[in-house]
Amino acid sequence: MSYKQVKTKIMIATSEVKKPKKQKARGMMENVMEQFHSAADKIELHPSIRKILGITNNEIVVHFPVKMDNGDVEIFTGYRVQHNNALGPYKGGLRYHPTVDIDAARALAMWMTWKTSLAGLPYGGGKGGIQLDPKKYSKSELERITRRFTFALADNIGPEHDIPAPDINTNSQTMAWMADTYMSTRPPAERSANQHVVTGKPAGSGGLEGRDRATGYGVFLNIKFWAQRNDEKLEGKRFIVQGFGNVGYWAAHFLEKEGAKLVAVQDASGSIYNSKGIHVEDLFNYSKANNGGIGNFPEAEEMDSKDFFSTDCDICIPAALGNQITKENAPNIKARLIAEGANGPTNVDGEKVLLEKGVTIIPDILCNSGGVVASYFEWLQNRNGELWQLDEVMAKLDKKMKESFSKVYEYSERESMDMRTAAYCIAIQRIEKAYVERGIFP
């Protein structure tokens, strides 16, 4: 199918999508667009390139039938938004959720474009998913849904064109099904050469060793690089972590190894505090035994969740969800460094307060980019027919994250701007350069 045909198909299909009701609160699209325009103004982005980057390249909507366990057939709607591919294949997750729609995918796809660009990867940005509630389906139904969706997307994804990854309610198993289905659609001699159509696969099926710790390790590295730049040691530093999932746990794990002290943790089950320090592995083992929650950990005190961000500490790692640091709690924050492990944990007003107080924020787009860098390593590993050892992966991650951090830190110092604005400027300038060098066809 040609590009033009895809565009036509997309336009027809898009008109069938239900339009969501407008929300009063700021949505993620508005945030992403505001950050883009603010950085674009600062770098005086060429108006034509601003137009290109302000809109998505392709929006694919597919409706596909799947046979359920009871013999009934259900029709599902899947999306894939491809924002920009000036730097390389589209890259981004696929999420399964009842509220997935084209608008959500647009904002997240655009955000992926900036993230991959800043990380210096040869990728663009994409995002997608299926509108469904996964807990209503059996594992075998989810397998058939995933395989049929992959088949429906077939010509619009590919290892050198658009590379999906796990996201909300999708995991390494989902990616294994996708890889297998996509490979099955290729001629026999080409199948093995297409394993990198998705990343986030199980380690035994082309996945990367250490993928689980990549994002948290990246958060830790960013904190370490910040300390080095400021002639400070991590030893003895007090830190707090919101979210004790993969990102929060691994960031805390590596910080503790460097001698830093975890003094407070918050997750969905509660908030705990111990001024003498909370042993990360003990807490991890406790949470595993308690349905993943840290609440009631015996070697710490319970604290009021509203006071969590005002805890006395040097480093704060919001690694759970967005909009956590606001103008309401920012004035009480004691930390000198905020390392954003989550996506969008500091809102615009909260950030203003923190910057006025002289607090440094390592922005999400940089701080949590270890995950997408690991995806790139998995893709490279598959593409080159290699299998990397854990120590190799960590060493390569170290090098890549250092490059990104240094670029952002130096740019922010040189231009006297905060690290978030610097990160967006670098990301957009890299794409601008590609357009300037190549020109626009025809």
Nearer to other proteins, 186 or 229 (CB): 186
Give the footprint of other proteins on residues 278-317 (CB under 8 A).
292, 305
Q: How far is the CB of 106 from other proteins (least distance, A)?
A: 6
DSSP letter string over 382-400? HHTT----HHHHHHHHHHH
400 catalytic residue (yes or no): no
Shorter beta-carbon distance to other proteins: residue 88 or 245: 245
Question: Quick one: 25 or 289, whose CB is closer to other proteins?
Answer: 25
Distance separating alpha carbons of residues 373 and 391, to the nearest angstrom:
15
What is d(CA 162, CA 226) in angstroms, rounded to the nearest whole number?
34
Q: Is 267 a residue that touches other proteins (CB under 8 A)?
A: yes
Instruction: Indicate the residue among 278 and 422 with the shorter CB distance to other proteins.
Output: 278
Question: Tokens in use for 284?
Answer: 């991890």
**CB count in 10 Å sphere of residue 334:** 15
Binding-site member from 5, 8, 14, 138 for other proteins (CB under 8 A):
138
Nearer to other proteins, 197 or 422 (CB): 197
Number of residues that bind other proteins (CB under 8 A): 72
Q: Does 319 bind other proteins (CB under 8 A)?
A: yes
Interaction between residue 373 and other proteins (CB under 8 A): no
In what side-by-side order are the strands of the sheet with 360-362? 301-302, 270-273, 261-267, 238-242, 315-318, 337-339, 360-362
Report the C-alpha gap between 204 and 218 in whole angstroms: 23
DSSP string, 139-186: HHHHHHHHHHHHHHHGGG-BTTTEEEEE-TT--HHHHHHHHHHHHHTS
User: Is residue 323 involved in binding other proteins (CB under 8 A)?
Assistant: yes
Q: Residue 429, interface with other proteins (CB under 8 A)?
A: no
Provide the mask over 380-419, with x wherever binding to other proteins is found by CB under 8 A and - wherever it is not. Answer: ----------------------------------------
User: Is residue 84 a contact point for other proteins (CB under 8 A)?
Assistant: no
Q: Is 9 exposed, middle or buried (0-12, 13-18, 19+ CB in 10 A)?
A: middle
> Which tokens belong to 227?
């300390």
Q: Binding of other proteins at residue 436 (CB under 8 A)?
A: no
Interacting span for other proteins (CB under 8 A) from 151-159, 198-206, 217-225, 383-391: 198-206
Q: Is 266 in the site for other proteins (CB under 8 A)?
A: yes
Stretch that binds other proteins, among 37-45, 94-102, 227-235, 351-359 (CB under 8 A): 94-102
C-alpha 172/C-alpha 79 separation (Å) is 20
User: Would you say 336 and 367 are in contact if contact means Cβ atoms under 8 Å apart?
Assistant: no
Is the CB of 75 or the CB of 189 nearer to other proteins?
Answer: 189
Q: Which residue bears the tokens 């990549």?
A: 214
In the complex, what is the shortest distance from the CB of residue 229 to other proteins, in angstroms, rounded to a whole number? Answer: 27
Strand locations in 71-153 (E): 73-84, 90-96, 125-130
Of 1, 12, 193, 321, the one binding other proteins (CB under 8 A) is 321
Of 7, 24, 67, 127, catalytic: 127
Active-site annotation, residues: 127
